[in-house]
Structure 1
Amino acid sequence: MSKLEKVPATIVTGFLGAGKTTLVRHVMSQAAGRRIAIIVNEFGSLGIDGDLLKSCGIPGCEEDNIVELANGCICCTVADDFLPTMTALLDRPEPPEHILIETSGLALPKPLIKAFNWPGIRSRVTVDGVVTVVDGPAVADGRFADDPAAVEAQRAADDNLDHDNPLAEVFEDQLGAADLVVLNKADLLDEAAVAKLRAEIASHLPRQVKVVAAREGALDIAVLLGLGAAAEDDLAARPSHHDGADDHEHDDFDSFVVPMPEAASAEALLEKLSKIAGEFDILRMKGFSSLPGKPMRLAVQGVGTRFRHHFDRAWAPGEARDGQLVVIGQAGLDKAAIAAAIAG
């Protein structure tokens, strides 16, 4: 790459548990020696997603190529965290040839895109594209897809009604910024459901954007990179519910970390966590646990009551086999009761 060329950056956004980290891992598995840096933004204090990438065993996912920003939502801390990180990457003796930025599930993409116009980096890096990952089964269940017309009708009928739905706004802002929408976990839906979701997603898109179906975030790297969108120069085409606002608040969400005791079996643990998620209306859980006599660490991830697991790496010699779990939900979660249920 010529020193005069801008380094392309791809923003991977999407709601909680949509499959962003898995998609990034697939991209890295196809890098073929290309220098790709990854910036991972966590909501909460435990860097689960960065740890999953570092332990994936894929060349290029080594610790030096992964930067974790865990001090707040990336769209709220661009000056304090994101911009210095970008500058440090670009100032490396061998700067990355492409940068992948995985936002937290609660991030709004547009403030991040705007940050690429800051004088310190505008001449050096460009937003190659915004890839929005959608959890197909979740949206099919109606969990994050409110009907704007119905909301307006309710507000018109009752001026005292609290009609604000921050989850729907986040979802729509992420779609509004997209240059490519990945309808993930499409293998869990039949053809009719996929077709219905495509139409529903298209109704939220402010312009013509390709929607591609995927299983486990597995897409050819050529589909995801090289979009050439220069999104920082195209802000007007990416409307947001928060246009005109200086920032946004995340008071509508809670995130906390709880210890996770050793489990009798992976199946028993997933059954237990699924029950807890349903009882307390938890949006997302992700973390690690240990199993008796097993040398490998068990990674678990859940969206709503749907959970999955895999053994991600061996416990290091002398390492404490202490499990931890990040719990994310809307504000008002009964943290003490949830922690007691997980410990029980």
Structure 2
Amino acid sequence: MQAKIPATVVTGFLGAGKTTLIRHMLSNAQGRRIALIINEFGDLGVDGEILKGCGDATCREEDVVELSNGCICCTVAEDFIPTLEKLLARPDKPDHIVIETSGLALPQPLVRAFGWPEIRTRLTVDGVVTVVDGAAVSEGRFAHDEAALDAQRAADGTLDHETPLSELFEDQLACADMIVINKTDLMDAAGAETVATRLSESARPGVRVVRTSMGALPVEVLLGLKIGAEDDLEARHEIHHHHHDEGADDDDHDHDHAHDHGHDEFESFVLDLPEIADPRAFATRLAAMIRTHDVLRLKGFAAVTGKPMRLAIQAVGPRVDTYFDRAFTAGEARATRLVVIGETGLDRAAIAAALA
């Protein structure tokens, strides 16, 4: 019998560093052909573009699949299973599949999906990796900007669970085979040790807790855990027990969304700008604009005058991270394109003027 293809589920809140961790893994894949399933949020597929831009033969554009129809744990039958089947039907099957969940996804339903008859004999969950913003946790928060999580929750019309952040955090820890404490560069040694001890005590016996900054973990640490998590669901108890049932009435489902999510409270828009001259000065202007206009989340790309490389930009709250991710391709427009997310009523003209 042919060996099952291993899959790794990467979960964690918005801004914890899941995409950065995966990008580092791809850049150091050591010849593994890795396929990615990304649960995107927003109008611009920034996470997918960041990962497609790794510039390595092991992460070709056709190996990156984006699921943008909402929270992945709520669309298992409609999106997730068919996507896995398509990957398995390819003549050049991947060596490993990595699934980056939405920040609000419950990991247990995804692991449970690997028991479906269509894929059970062909795939196995190598492990569940939960990425934690160590700096935020050390300060008593679940994420750097919890308001951004609420914006993500409100903007996702398919989300069918209203789990409190505390319970969702516990679910992510309860399902983990490895907990990655990210952003340790923003913490002192004592703070990092305290967070590691706390998370170790919260996790199941045997769960590894590792520390890193910028998601820089060796690929052999992340992949090859060989857990078979789909056969170990009882140990991954869910704190949250009100997930939408597949057979529930659709009209009731829609009614619940309208009542719970408050879609009109948040908005996002795409901002197109010309090339920028000074990345550091632009990042400073971004941070000032974010504070002035209460922007919750910002992601995108910029062209820098005189530079052949594209600048990736991500901000959660006023903390702005930038790095050059890949060279512009022939014929690709050299422009700056950002997704801005915040509460309804953003002054789009003032935001554009602040960055012009």
Q: TM-score, normalised by structure 1?
A: 0.84
Match of 1:298 in 2: 311
Match of 1:285 in 2: 298
Structure 1 residue 140, shift from structure 2 partner: 2.1
1:18 aligns with 2:16: yes
1:126 aligns with 2:121: no
Q: In structure 2, which of residues 250, 270, 288 is the aligned counterpart of residue 275 of structure 1? A: 288
1:258 aligns with 2:256: no
1:1-344 alignment, distance < 5 Å: 3=2, 5-144=3-142, 166-246=164-244, 251=261, 254=266, 256-262=268-274, 263-328=276-341, 333-337=343-347, 340-344=350-354
Greater Cα shift, 279-288 or 93-102 = 279-288
Decide whether aligned partners of structure 1 residues 142 and 71 sit closer, same or farther in structure 2, where only a CA change above 3 A counts: same
For 2:195, give the aligned amino acid.
Answer: L
For 1:278, give the aligned amino acid.
Answer: R
Structure 1 residue 229, shift from structure 2 partner: 1.8
Partner deviation per Cα, 1:115-156 (whole Å, 9 max, x = no partner): 1121211111111110011111122233317xxxxxxxxxxx
Q: In structure 1, what is the Cα distance between the partners aligned to 2:345 and 2:237? A: 35
Structure 1 residue 231, shift from structure 2 partner: 1.4
Q: In structure 1, what is the Cα distance between the partners aligned to 2:267 and 2:226? A: 35
Decide whether aligned partners of structure 1 residues 175 and 338 sit closer, same or farther in structure 2, where only a CA change above 3 A counts: farther
Q: In structure 2, what is the Cα distance between the partners aligned to 1:341 and 1:142? A: 31
Decide whether aligned partners of structure 1 residues 338 and 240 sit closer, same or farther in structure 2, where only a CA change above 3 A counts: farther
For 1:173, give the aligned amino acid.
Answer: D
Asked if structure 2 preserves the Cα contact closer than 8 Å seen for 1:289 and 1:324, the reply is yes
Structure 1 residue 28, shift from structure 2 partner: 2.0
Q: Give the unaligned 5+ runs of structure 2.
A: 144-161, 246-255
For 1:324, give the aligned amino acid.
Answer: R
Greater Cα shift, 115-124 or 276-285 = 276-285
Q: In structure 1, what is the Cα distance between the partners aligned to 2:281 and 2:12? A: 29
Asked if structure 2 preserves the Cα contact closer than 8 Å seen for 1:29 and 1:59, the reply is no
Structure 1 residue 197, shift from structure 2 partner: 0.9
Q: TM-score, normalised by structure 2?
A: 0.81
Q: In structure 2, what is the Cα distance between the partners aligned to 1:204 and 1:185? A: 20
Structure 1 residue 87, shift from structure 2 partner: 0.4
Asked if structure 2 preserves the Cα contact closer than 8 Å seen for 1:6 and 1:124, the reply is yes
Partner deviation per Cα, 1:172-199 (whole Å, 9 max, x = no partner): 2211211100111212211101011112
Asked if structure 2 preserves the Cα contact closer than 8 Å seen for 1:206 and 1:239, the reply is no
Match of 1:158 in 2: none
Greater Cα shift, 317-326 or 120-129 = 317-326
The Cα RMSD (Å) is: 2.6
Structure 1 residue 283, shift from structure 2 partner: 4.2
Q: In structure 2, what is the Cα distance between the partners aligned to 1:169 and 1:120? A: 31
Q: In structure 1, what is the Cα distance between the partners aligned to 2:304 and 2:123? A: 45
Decide whether aligned partners of structure 1 residues 40 and 336 sit closer, same or farther in structure 2, where only a CA change above 3 A counts: same
3-state DSSP class of the match of 2:199?
helix
Structure 1 residue 280, shift from structure 2 partner: 5.0
Identity over aligned pairs, percent: 54
Structure 1 residue 314, shift from structure 2 partner: 3.6
Greater Cα shift, 98-107 or 278-287 = 278-287
* Count of residues in correspondence between the two structures: 321
Structure 1 residue 205, shift from structure 2 partner: 2.6
